[in-house]
A = this chain, B = another copy of it.
């Protein structure tokens, strides 16, 4: 197979389907989502069979247990996928909303209409449920999608694609609205991210390596979620109970997630009132502590942090701790080391809270709340395709609105420029 030609044809079909999708009404899109959910449930046996082929191939290739677990489909996970589709069907349709429609002095009426982006390329790794989730979000927002999953999930993804196509057909929508790339050739990714005529935006979902490769090579805009080096800063005027509660939750609620805290910053004026208790809690929970000089002096079990520690996304029960002079030094540390994902301040002082809100340059900035809240569901988006650490287009959790754009609409009555 000529990969270039295959991808070009895939792109042409997606572009054509995107025109139909932009016109599709909410009823048709929701009908498709419900029908896909039904098809997944009805095809459970086949899905689990195809998934078993991927799993045994993975075991032969020596994939580790964590990866095999992410790859596995079972009854419950298929139910979860179907439920996710129904939830997306229940969300309001963002497409077609007209806002800010106002008369101008010239007499024309100008507003903005929310419209699909067009064709969205999704590149992801092992989890097969992304095939259904991502396709559903793109479908609901009126876009066509080209999905490129990991080769280790190839059979599972094709089986899910079959259900998606059934659902689209039931609803009278074009099957090409969701295409799952069949080849596992890596060159297909290279083509997908360099076809601006056919692909409007790329959403990579995966590790740092994947995303950096795509950023380096893409000739199409990328909505990227790089990584989360999130901070909590405990201010001089913190309520110590809240401080301990939030700092403990932000680290220990879940370790392998991007919105977990990786570095705790504590103002020196209150460090003695908060650090010993908090450190004991972390240590009891099995969290390894890596600290600045002051931290190590106060906490016996903490080992010295290296310069690299401040930039590390541990995704593990490890926490770096630094004692700072004041909020200004905390913010300076964040600007130097944060990945721009989520930072939180614990304080009762409204002036510093407002300053922190203004000055910290991250996709989510919080006061007296755990960084773990940085999430599409928690924010009320209903679902998310990822969390963007970019500043352009979509920032923070990206839901249906992030998969749309706005165009200007102008109404006149034969108006001309003078």
How many copies of the polypeptide does the oligomer hold? 2
Q: Give bound CA distance, A415 to B367, whole Å.
A: 9
Q: Is the interface of A mostly helix, strand, loop or mixed?
A: mixed
CB closest residue in chain B, given A372: B417
- A104 contacts which chain B residues (CB < 8 A)? 378-380
Q: Given the complex, which residues of B lie within 8 Å of A364, measured CB to CB?
A: 407-410
Does A406 sit at the interface, judged by CB under 8 A? yes
Q: Which residues in B have their C-beta under 8 angstroms from that of A22?
A: 358-359, 361
Q: What residue in chain B is nearest A18 (Cβ atoms)?
A: B361
Number of interface residues of A (CB under 8 A): 71
A219 interface residue, CB < 8 Å from B?
A: yes
What's the minimum C-beta distance from A87 to chain B, rounded to whole angstroms?
A: 15
Query: What 0/1 readout, one digit per residue, does chain A (356-395) give for beta carbons within 8 Å of chain B?
Result: 0111011111111110111000111000000000111101
| Bound-complex Cα distance A412 to B363 (A) | 17
- Decide if B407 touches A366 in the complex (CB within 8 Å): no
Whether B117 lies near A414 (C-beta < 8 A) is: no
Residues of B within 8 Å of A359, CB to CB, are 19, 22-23
Given A359-B22, A367-B411, verify A395-B406 contact (CB < 8 Å): yes
Query: A248's closest neighbor in chain B, by CB?
Result: B416
Question: Is A316 an interface residue, CB under 8 A from the partner?
Answer: no
Given contacts A23-B359, A392-B392, list 13 more A-B pairs with CB under 8 A: A22-B359, A108-B378, A200-B391, A201-B392, A245-B416, A246-B414, A248-B416, A366-B409, A369-B411, A374-B410, A392-B393, A396-B408, A397-B408
A-to-B contact residues, CB < 8 Å? 19, 22-23, 96, 102, 104, 106, 108, 110, 113, 115, 117-118, 200-201, 215-216, 219, 221, 223, 239, 241-242, 245-246, 248-250, 253, 335, 344, 346, 357-359, 361-370, 372-374, 378-380, 390-393, 395-397, 405-417
